[in-house]
Structures are given as C-alpha cells and as structure tokens.
Chain A
Amino acid sequence: MSVIVKEAGRAISRADERAPISSLLKANLRKVFPDHWSFMLGEIALYSFIILLLTGVYLTIWFKPSMTEVVYNGSYAPLVGIKMSEAYASALDLSFDVRGGLLLRQIHHWAALFFMAAMVVHMFRIFFTGAFRKPRELNWVIGGSMFLIVLLEGFAGYSLPDDLLSGVGVRIVAGIIEAVPIVGTYLMFFIFGGQFPGNDFIPRLYTFHVLLVPGILLALIGLHLILIFYHKHTQYPGPGRSNTNVVGFPLFPVYVAKAGGFFFVVFGVTALMGGLVSINPIWAYGPYVPDQVTAGSQPDWYIGFLDGMLRAMPNWEWEDFLGRTWSWNIFIPGAVMPGILVGLLLAYPFIEAWVTGDKREHHLLERPRNNPTRTGIGVAAIVFYGILVINGANDLIAITFNLSINQLIWFTRIAIFIAPPLAFLATRRFCLGLQRRDREKLLHGRESGQILRLPHGEFIEIHTPISDDEKAVILSKEDYPVVAAPPATDENGVRTPGLRAKRWRARLSRAYFGDNIQKPTPAEIEAAAHHSHEEHDHEVEELHAGGKEVPAVLGPDSH
C-alpha cells in the first residue's frame, strides 16, 4: 500500500516539475466567491455552451453540409420520394435513423435557447446591479460581444438543416444583405457565392457554425472567466461586506460542489426537455424550396426582435436617378437599428462612467433602486425589446386573440416610441419611492402595522427598528454628487476647453442623480433615534407605568 502511495506521489511530483499545476491550484482553489443565486445565471450560459459542444460533436458525425440534390428514402413516410438537399436529408436521417439522434438534436436546440436566455438574464443582473462599472467594463464588452456572436451562431445552427422554416429565414438575411446601399447585391453574391439560394451557403455556414464561432467563443469565455478571477467576484452589500473584501466560501470544496451540481441540474433539465418536448420539427416543415412558405414563419426567440422590427417598419423605398433601389424598409430595421442597439449596449458602461465622472473601482454591487436612471434605462430597454419580440409573433397573436394583424402593427409602431419612455419614468419614480422608504426605515424603523392611541386621543403607529443587517444593506448606498457645469470662462476670461461636452455632462448628471434621495447622515440617524425614544416610547412607558392596559392596539397582532 505504502509503495503505491509513494510511487503515485513520485509520479505526481515528476509531472508537477514539468507542469507546475499544484502552485496554480494552491493559489486559486481557496479563492473566495460570494454566495447568491443570481450569480449562477452566467453559469447556466456556460453549462449550456458545454452541452452544445458535447451534443454538437455528436451531430457533426452524421450531418452532411451539402446542397447536392438527393431523393429521400429514409423512414419518415410523408417525405419518401421527395427531392431535397443532402443537408436536409442527413438532418432527417439524424432524426429518424440514427440512434439517439433526435434526442441529441433536440437537446442541442433547447440548449441553444437556454444559452441565449441565460445570457440575457445574466446581463440583466450585471446591468441592474452596476457590476459593469470599473474595473469590469472590458468584461461587459466581452460578454456583450459574446451575446452578439451567439445570436449569429444560433441563427447559423437554425439554418443548417435547410428546412422550409429556416430557408425562409436565410432568404430574409439575404434580403437584408441586399438592402445595404450600393454594395448590397455584390455583398450578397459574395456571401452566397451567386444567386440565392445557391449551393455554397450551407457549407460555408457549417464552417462558421462548427469551427469559427465555437473557437472564438471558447477564447472569449476563457477570457471572461479569467477576468472574473482576476477582478474577484462582486458581491451584494451586507454586514461586513465592503469594497475591499469578498465575503463568501472558498472555490474548493464549496463552489466546486455547488457549480458541479448545478451543471448536472442544467444538463438534466435540458435533457429532459430534449426527450419530452419537440423543438424545431424539421420533418414537418419539409425541405426548403424558394417558392414555398409556411404561415407563422418565425425565427428562434432571440432573433424575434429583428423580425418584429422588420414587420413594424413602414414601406420606405427610394429609387434614385440611376435606377438603384434604396431599400430603407429593410436596411433600417435589418442592419441600422441592430447596429445602433448593439453599439449602445457595448458602450453603456463608458457612457455612465463619463456622466458620473466616477473613477473609483466598484466591487460592491449597487441596488437597482439606488441608481434610478440606470434602472429606468434598463427597464425601458426591456420594454422596447419586448414590444419588438411580441410584434415578431404578431400573426400568432392575431389569430389566437382574434385581433387584426394590421392593428397590431400600428400598435407596435406607436408603442415603440411611447411605452419605453413611460416605463423609464415609472421605474425611476418607483426607485425614488423605494429610496425614500429606505431613508424612512433608517430614521424611524419599519412600520409595524400597530396603531396606538394615546390618552389625549392622538393616534401613532409604532415603528420597530430594523435589523443591523438591513441597516448595512441600506447604508451601502453611494451618494453620487451631481457634476456641475463649469463656468463658460475662467477667471482670466479664457474659454473653458470642451465646454459644450461638459455642459452636456452636467445636464445628464443632473438627470441621473438630481432627484436621488440623500442617505441620512449618522448624526441624523442618531437624532431620529433619540427623537422617537423621547416621544413615543416615553408615552407608552407612561401608560404602562399608570397600570393601565394600552388602550387600543389595532393591527395584525391584535386579533
């Protein structure tokens, strides 16, 4: 026995001399991570990616990315004898004639939907808690880029089987590329290798889907995780937590177990869905033929907002004096708007940092209520996106709820301009209200719901002081000073450089923080505590001292 142990030890040390893993592990295994369920949203995305890699490898063994025309002769009777591309035929074979093929295909597709959904909710968490602030702006940009890349990757995967539904999607993409002014047609011919649909697109998309994008994603995910390690994980405010520490559990064994377990939960749920719930029934759509289309042709949910934008766009089209068509109806919703949206998404940390002029590092997360304007912007963005997604499904909504699709389009055209600002204002007000409530809680405690009638007839509500934990959370609020606009000229009459930008910044800063409720100072809290003791407690004590029952206590505890 001891010989074995000795030999094993020797082998390990030999290996370690050549690849010094133990020192790396020693340094990182005890690394502390904070505990919160919302920190696991990104993990769902990571695990979905791993599931996608595993199942994807299995699918590549049988899928043939070829546009060669074949006659189907497999075991799905309603398509026997139909001419189709080899890509579609092999996807059918994969579904019906390869053991476990359909299950793996469905797990793969569900995992892709999970991947995107998890990235979105993870992004919500990062955004609403201000986790993207210095020093993590770069990681936000990496994450946002991954979101965009996975969106394209998902679209590629959805298109590969060359079924009727995805073919319609590819046709729309070809149309968007063609709508690029001046170079559109050339670009489209370049990408598709000639006229639509051509024989080149599916093989090219395959290389993009299984080689190029997964490679880039692996690299970006690696970088994303390394940066998380390097920056250390952010944490929610709470007792004993500060900007300079991390309160939590060590990576080994606690998070290795938790994260490892969670991986199996994610895999289990995805496999269950793959086994029980149909997704992308390509056999029902039939092979792609350019002159066929099905009602309810929709993309997967994450492309839905693009479809919704396209459906809402008025039909603006120019023809110039050279007879060229300027297809604004497709170019704006298909290319310009997505570009602007992605640009805003990636630039947001820098915009906010510029407005606040905040150069500090932030490792403590901000509660969404404490930055009402950011939270408002986030909710407005969600509403904007949501309206577009809903419009992307407007035909199904119309038939399900007996509405007119034309009315739905007009609803979208109007709501897209009105609803996000309303959502912004409402959210901002809501946050400010919560801030006032926090201030009230610190100064006077929580409303207990007990109404007390004093001997002289006055009614008061008894406030109970809040716990120290809650106090610590509320006190974590940072007060942002509003940046003031500099004077137009300095004392020597020299014009301030960059005056216009600075004025804009002052204006934005006021919009961001001008209405913020100031956190009470320790002196104010002290004074308030003193005050309430003197007034109410004194009187209550007096009543007790008088040997009388408290006259009337109404509230939840009184019955």
Chain B
Amino acid sequence: MTSSSVRRHKATGLAVLLVGLLATGFGYAAVTGTAQASAPTANASQIEAGKKLYLEGCATCHGLAGQGSSDGPSLIGVGAAAVDFQVKTGRMPLAQPTNQAPRKAPVYNDEEIAALAAFVASLGAGPAIPTAEQVDTEDANLAEGGELFRTNCAQCHNFAGKGGALSYGKYAPSLMDATPTEIYEAMLTGPQNMPNFPDASLPEEEKKAIIKYIENLQQGDSPGGLALGSLGPVTEGVFIWTAGLGLLLAAAVWIGAKVR
C-alpha cells in the first residue's frame, strides 16, 4: 500500500475523526481533572451548570475545553475573577470582534455568572472573586490611593478616571461606572490591554486605597464649578473659543452696532 492509497482508504476519514475525538476527550478530561483538584470549594452542580452555559455561549471562541482558539484566549488559569469581571460588565460574550470589547449590559444573570466563574475556575487555578472584606475601603488611605492611582492608573485612565486612548483604536475605559469589585478584579486579572497587578506588586491594602480614590473620583466633586468633562485643557480651549469668545463677540457687535 502506498501512502496515497492509505489516505484514500474508505475507513481513513472515520479513523482520523475517531483519533481526533478521542484526543480531545482525553485531553479535556485530563485538564478538567487536574483543575477540579485545585478548586475544591466550587460545588459540582454549579460547575456542571457553568459548563453547560460555557459550551453554549463561550466555547466557540475559547474552545470546548477552555484551551482557546484563534478567536479567543485560553481560559485555563484565568480564574473566577476574570470571568466575573468580563461577564458582569457585559464585555463577554463579545457582540462582534473589534479592537476591544466595550462595556455593555450583561447577558447573564448573577447566578449564571457565578456558575460560569465556578466552571472556568475549575479549569485551572486563578484569582478568585474578591470578597466583600477585600473591597471594603472604610479604612483605606485616600491620599495614598491618589498617589498610587497617579503612578499606576492615570497614564491610561486619565487623572480623573475618565479614560484615555491607546494605540490603534484601543482605549482605557472610563472608570466612572466601575464597581469596587470590578476594579479589584481588573487589577488582579488585567483584562484586555490592561497589565495585571498581582498582590506581589500591589498588595491588598494598596488596591483598597486605589479603589477608595476612584470612588472619590466617581462622586465627581468639582470645587471649581462646571468640570467640562474633566478632560484637561482641550475642553477648556473649546469652551473659550465657543461660549467665551462667542459672548464677547456678541457684546462687541452689540456695542459696535450703528445707532440708527
């Protein structure tokens, strides 16, 4: 038998399909098996429910076993925090492939998100969803948070958390709608273009301080009056050339008008 006749044999297609399926199945079992061992707290029925949702809504891009594909990254080891962040802010599931997933209304309810998170966490150990205690900013230091924010966050998210442009149409989103948990999760997992800030580089206390500063920004206090979007001198320049100079020119026309 020549090699080409082997390829053309009636049973070859079937055999290749079998091998492929078996490999995927065993691989899947191997992966999920080890993951479950490292995430013992999740209950099995929740993981099962999450898996179902995952296969329906996520597997097309992230792969049947969360291993990723050309359309989406691997989810093994991203942890529950990443799922909670991405799905709760509506970024996932993606509506269409663009430069970046925008924030939108979430597709799944809280129970479904918890199930999805439990399932993905079961694929491999990763950051867990922060507890209420972890995002309690009561005792955090506001000024220190500001200092940390300016050092780590302002360069992309702007001094007032209004967001900023990155290269090639990507952007750092506005933080005005982000909840403390979401901010914490984002720092832990580094969604999209954001770097992640594990506890080794940004301890829990510092994360809390940053969240407190962002909460302060979200209140939108503007001691100087109308904030003009808190975007810096550009909107101030637009204002002076429209409203400001407009008023003065109107006054000049009025004063300079011919007396008839």
Q: What DSSP secondary structure best describes chain B's contact surface?
A: helix
Q: A294 near B155 (CB under 8 angstroms)?
A: yes
Q: What DSSP secondary structure best describes chain A's contact surface?
A: helix
Q: How far is the CA of A273 from the CA of B247 in the complex (A)?
A: 11
Contact of A79 among B99, B143, B237, B249 (CB under 8 A): B143
Q: Is A283 engaged at the interface, CB distance under 8 Å to the other chain? A: yes
Q: How far is the CA of A196 from the CA of B155 in the complex (A)?
A: 20
Inter-chain contacts of B233 with A (CB < 8 A): 165, 280, 298-301, 304
Q: How far is the CA of A299 from the CA of B234 in the complex (A)?
A: 8
Binds B, one of A5-13, A112-120, A515-523: A112-120
Q: Which residue of chain B lies nearest to A291 when distances are taken between CB atoms in the complex?
A: B151
Q: A164 near B150 (CB under 8 angstroms)?
A: yes
Nearest Cβ on chain A to B243's Cβ, whole angstroms? 8
Inter-chain contacts of A431 with B (CB < 8 A): none
Q: B256 near A39 (CB under 8 angstroms)?
A: yes
Inter-chain contacts of B240 with A (CB < 8 A): 110, 113-114, 117, 301
Q: Is A81 engaged at the interface, CB distance under 8 Å to the other chain? A: yes
Binds B, one of A213-221, A258-266, A452-460: A258-266
Q: Which residue of chain A lies nearest to B162 when distances are taken between CB atoms in the complex?
A: A296
Q: A286 near B159 (CB under 8 angstroms)?
A: yes
Q: Is B6 engaged at the interface, CB distance under 8 Å to the other chain? A: no
Q: How far is the CA of A301 from the CA of B237 in the complex (A)?
A: 5
Q: Is A545 engaged at the interface, CB distance under 8 Å to the other chain? A: no
Q: Is B19 engaged at the interface, CB distance under 8 Å to the other chain? A: no
Q: Is A277 engaged at the interface, CB distance under 8 Å to the other chain? A: yes
Query: Which residue, B142, B226, B251, B258, has most C-beta atoms of chain A within 10 A?
Result: B251
* CB contact under 8 A between A295 and B172, given known A35-B258, A78-B216, A265-B255: yes
Q: A284 near B244 (CB under 8 angstroms)?
A: no
Q: Is A278 engaged at the interface, CB distance under 8 Å to the other chain? A: yes
Q: How far is the CA of A95 from the CA of B222 in the complex (A)?
A: 12
Q: A77 near B143 (CB under 8 angstroms)?
A: yes
Q: B143 near A80 (CB under 8 angstroms)?
A: yes
Q: B255 near A294 (CB under 8 angstroms)?
A: no
Q: Please report the total number of B residues contacting A with Cβ < 8 Å.
A: 58
Mark contacts of A379-409 with chain B using CB atoms, 8 A cut-off: 1 yes-contact digit, 0 otherwise: 0000000000000111110110011111100
Mark contacts of A245-275 with chain B using CB atoms, 8 A cut-off: 1 yes-contact digit, 0 otherwise: 0000000000000100110011001000101
Q: A262 near B222 (CB under 8 angstroms)?
A: no
Q: Is B147 engaged at the interface, CB distance under 8 Å to the other chain? A: yes
Q: B159 near A276 (CB under 8 angstroms)?
A: no
Nearest Cβ on chain B to A246's Cβ, whole angstroms? 16
Q: Is A417 engaged at the interface, CB distance under 8 Å to the other chain? A: no
Q: How far is the CA of A278 from the CA of B233 in the complex (A)?
A: 11
Q: B230 near A396 (CB under 8 angstroms)?
A: no
* CB contact under 8 A between A81 and B230, given known A261-B255, A304-B237, A399-B164: no
Q: Is A36 engaged at the interface, CB distance under 8 Å to the other chain? A: yes
Q: Is B160 engaged at the interface, CB distance under 8 Å to the other chain? A: yes
Mark contacts of B23-58 with chain A using CB atoms, 8 A cut-off: 1 yes-contact digit, 0 otherwise: 000000000000000000000000000000000000
* CB contact under 8 A between A295 and B154, given known A81-B143, A280-B236: yes
* CB contact under 8 A between A281 and B227, given known A117-B241, A399-B171, A402-B169: yes
Q: Is A96 engaged at the interface, CB distance under 8 Å to the other chain? A: yes
Q: Which residue of chain B lies nearest to A408 when distances are taken between CB atoms in the complex?
A: B165
Q: How far is the CA of A294 from the CA of B249 in the complex (A)?
A: 34
Q: Is B167 engaged at the interface, CB distance under 8 Å to the other chain? A: yes
Q: How far is the CA of A299 from the CA of B222 in the complex (A)?
A: 20
Inter-chain contacts of A301 with B (CB < 8 A): 233-234, 236-237, 240-241
Nearest Cβ on chain B to A232's Cβ, whole angstroms? 18
Q: A113 near B244 (CB under 8 angstroms)?
A: yes
Q: A294 near B159 (CB under 8 angstroms)?
A: yes
* CB contact under 8 A between A165 and B255, given known A117-B245, A278-B224, A301-B240: no
Contact of A276 among B225, B231, B245 (CB under 8 A): B225
Q: Is B73 engaged at the interface, CB distance under 8 Å to the other chain? A: no
10 contacts across the A-B interface (CB closer than 8 A):
A36-B256, A78-B216, A273-B244, A277-B239, A285-B159, A286-B159, A294-B159, A296-B158, A298-B234, A301-B236
Ranked 8 nearest A-B pairs via Cβ? A295-B164, A301-B237, A278-B224, A37-B256, A404-B169, A294-B159, A395-B165, A398-B165
Q: Please name 17 further chain A to chain B contacts, defined as beta carbons within 8 Å, in addition to the given A82-B146, A265-B248, sorted by A numbering.
A: A36-B256, A38-B256, A40-B252, A43-B252, A78-B216, A82-B147, A118-B245, A121-B249, A266-B248, A276-B226, A277-B225, A292-B150, A292-B154, A294-B154, A294-B158, A300-B237, A405-B168
